[in-house]
Structure 1
Amino acid sequence: MEHRYLGNSGLKISEITYGNWLTHGSQVENDTASKCVHAALDAGISTFDTADVYANTVAEQVLGDALKGQRRESLEIFTKVYFPTGPKGHNDTGLSRKHMMESIDGSLRRLGTDYVDLYQAHRYDYETPLEETMQAFADIVRAGKALYIGVSEWNADQLRAAHHLAKDLGIQLVSNQPQYNMLWRVIEERVVPTSKELGISQIVWSPIAQGALTGKYKPGQPVPAGSRATDEDGGGAESIRSRYLHDDKLTAVANLEPIAAELGITMAQLAIAWVLANDNVATALVGASRPEQIASNAEAAGVTLDTGVLSRIDDVLGDLPETDPNKTQSPATRLT
């Protein structure tokens, strides 16, 4: 497993991060989830990402239980705050000082740790002054409950404003966590250049386009039974179908298979290696419902795609990837 620095900091994280968004506490049994975490550790993954909203806080508990007995100093544990949790009351969401201060304590308790390495704003909160949010982050860092701060799905202007406040407060904003893959490239025009300027890395989620880049979805054919595109209960099925499962895109994905075969890697490994080829990407988030999935995907670490391969991929995909920077956005109002 290779490691990279996270933003302009001295923190190293594994090129592959294990994330438990759609699995722990919901889609897989706790025993299987624990086996997946241990498979990640066996593969050399040291970085683990979760959020309080995943399975309404249960995912954090499952991850914390699975990591019990591990040397804490050898791990990098990330979590997030913003979305509604608990009974979803009027203050159980957003980036207010009240919600953030209560949420970090709950997350630490469920994860079974005194601190998280990275505490992330899961979305931008248009209803709370950014100054209030950043001051809460600063107090959380100074209390030793988080070492670094990050955000998720913030646009370039929001990153710049937050970075300025963080610098004034003496804390480090080191990361952004956007969706990014061969077919979804909305961060490339504005977010990535701004992040490079500010010393912010990308922690990318959905590097395999929620399974669309694995080749398992075929043009003109029904989606496979039991796949994420059939999971209407929290699996993001509608998003997958509307964003990726179009015959022109699936045909192009099928045309990538010879490239993966020539390199001797799987389609999933090709997709993960592609996002890691972007030097502003610190790590690719991968999940798993079976231990063997994480072991296979972790092998993408260290795979180098030369400029010739990257050009061939671009030629195959043509103008199919989404590149509109305006599609990097947070909800206009808080979800309840």
Structure 2
Amino acid sequence: MTEFDPKDMEYRFLGNTGLRVSILSYGGWLTVKEDSERITKECFEEAWKHGVNFFDTAEVYANGECETVFGKVFKELGWTRSDYVVSTKLYFGFGEKSPNGRGLSRKHLIEGMDKSLKRLQMDYVDVVFAHRPDREGVPMEEVVRAFTQIIQDGKAIYWATSEWSAFEIEHAHHIATKYGLIAPIAEQPQYNMFHRNRFEAEYYPLYQLYKYGTTVWSPLAGGVLTGKYNDGFAPGTRFGDASNPVVQRGRSRLESAEGKAMIEKVKKLTPIAEELGCTTAQLALAFLLKNTNVSTIITGSTRAEQVKENMGALQVYKKLTDEHIEKIEQILDNKPDYLKLY
């Protein structure tokens, strides 16, 4: 592929707001851990060079260390604060045995926000997400009031949701309207070629009613769409360490009939990627970018070279034709039907 031009980056509004975010962004879910400041700084610089302006973390990532590393790196880089967008997420807490150390109670949200800002060394974040819905009895009114207070206190500019159902998001909007509170602006859902129904069908009314924004995670289906598991589990890949119980569960899924079918589809996508002069990973990212309901795709990396490769999807996205999309859909054979869902 040709050398990347920063002008290739596009920016979309995050939901029904004036906040513009790069359509590819950077997140630290599995890639930012302890003692990773140097690597994180290199990845930040590479992402920034390519026009990325949105960086995502959470209180639970690496038990708070991700926020700490992010904060240190932002300080070292010295970028103008108004030039970049930072989001964090509250719900899971970390390490606290107290029953109030997690969830969406007003207590945890207010205290958790203060702790996150301290680790990030920031006065505010641009977006704070409710990392999961709280289905253990916390009233929705309490949740919406707490996030409204966080925003009114100047600790966040917007709030959003992550892995909430369409009904729960609608409920939050209803409460906000009823009591004159601040409604969420965006959802952070899993979305990739193999995980499409919620994003494309269940959330469809939200896009129409609220222009609800989206910050997509797991766009490569845990690495499956890179093609690195086409011939097994090589050492050094996410599923290469069979001794890890979490890894073993992931391997078992790929070794199932469903997992094998996914890998076969990745193999069939390879000729399309080759025709476009790209990797299957870049093709997978470009396919999502064709959906205008995607505000930004959160990408992760452990090396600056991976950041650069991910950015190549911007060129592929512009080259994808209706014919390419039709070929991809025939291979995937999983396009959601909105009308059947409702």
TM-score for the superposition, normalised by structure 2: 0.88
Of 83, 89, 98, 2:92 maps to 83
Partner of 2:4: none
CA contact (8 A) 1:183 1:209 kept: yes
Larger Rg: 2
Q: Distance in 2 between matches of 1:300 and 1:233?
A: 34
Stretch deviating more after TM superposition (227-236 or 201-210): 227-236
Of 313, 318, 330, 1:315 maps to 330
The 5 Å alignment of 1:101-250 reads 101-127=110-136, 128-167=138-177, 168-187=179-198, 188-218=200-230, 221-230=231-240, 237-238=247-248, 240-241=250-251, 243-244=253-254, 246-250=259-263
CA offsets per residue over residues 43-99 of structure 1, 9 Å max, x none?
Answer: 211100000000010000101111111111001000000013143421111000000
Q: Does 1:43 align with 2:72?
A: no
Shift of 1:318: 2.1
Partner of 1:283: 296
Q: Distance in 2 between matches of 1:89 and 1:223?
A: 39
SS in 1 for 2:47: helix
Q: Distance in 1 between matches of 2:158 and 2:63?
A: 24
CA contact (8 A) 1:196 1:280 kept: no
Stretch deviating more after TM superposition (208-217 or 244-253): 244-253
Q: Distance in 2 between matches of 1:107 and 1:46?
A: 20
CA contact (8 A) 2:172 2:183 kept: no
Q: Distance in 2 between matches of 1:231 and 1:196?
A: 44
CA contact (8 A) 1:51 1:59 kept: yes
Q: Distance in 2 between matches of 1:251 and 1:41?
A: 35
CA contact (8 A) 1:52 1:85 kept: yes
CA offsets per residue over residues 238-263 of structure 1, 9 Å max, x none?
Answer: 56435555222111101101111111
Amino acid paired to 1:136 = A
CA contact (8 A) 2:235 2:241 kept: no
Q: Distance in 1 between matches of 2:10 and 2:87?
A: 18
Distance 1:222 1:244, change over 3 A: closer
Ranges of 4+ aligned residues in structure 1 off by more than 4 Å:
231-236, 242-245, 321-324
What residue ranges of structure 2 are gaps of 5+ in the alignment? Answer: 1-8
SS in 2 for 1:166: helix
CA contact (8 A) 1:137 1:149 kept: yes
Q: Distance in 2 between matches of 1:217 and 1:3?
A: 32
Distance 1:287 1:65, change over 3 A: same
Stretch deviating more after TM superposition (52-61 or 304-313): 304-313
Higher normalized contact order (CA 8 Å, seq sep 6+, divided by chain length): 1
Q: Distance in 2 between matches of 1:189 and 1:157?
A: 13
Partner of 1:8: 16
CA contact (8 A) 1:40 1:295 kept: yes
Q: Does 1:23 align with 2:31?
A: yes
**Structure ranking higher in helix proportion:** 2
Q: Distance in 2 between matches of 1:233 and 1:91?
A: 34
The number of residue pairs the alignment matches comes to 320
Could you say what the CA RMSD is over the residues aligned between the two structures, in angstroms?
2.2
Partner of 1:268: 281
Shift of 1:234: 8.8
Amino acid paired to 1:142 = Q
CA offsets per residue over residues 169-220 of structure 1, 9 Å max, x none?
Answer: 34242100110000111312212333332221121101111110011111xx
Stretch deviating more after TM superposition (183-192 or 131-140): 183-192
CA contact (8 A) 2:130 2:161 kept: yes
CA contact (8 A) 1:50 1:78 kept: yes
CA contact (8 A) 1:184 1:323 kept: no
Q: Percent identity?
A: 41
CA contact (8 A) 1:181 1:206 kept: yes
Q: Distance in 1 between matches of 2:246 and 2:207?
A: 28
Amino acid paired to 1:185 = R
Q: Does 1:293 align with 2:306?
A: yes
TM-score for the superposition, normalised by structure 1: 0.89
Partner of 1:332: none
What residue ranges of structure 1 are gaps of 5+ in the alignment? Answer: 325-336
Amino acid paired to 1:315 = Q
Stretch deviating more after TM superposition (54-63 or 78-87): 78-87
Q: Distance in 1 between matches of 2:243 and 2:191?
A: 23
CA contact (8 A) 2:36 2:69 kept: no
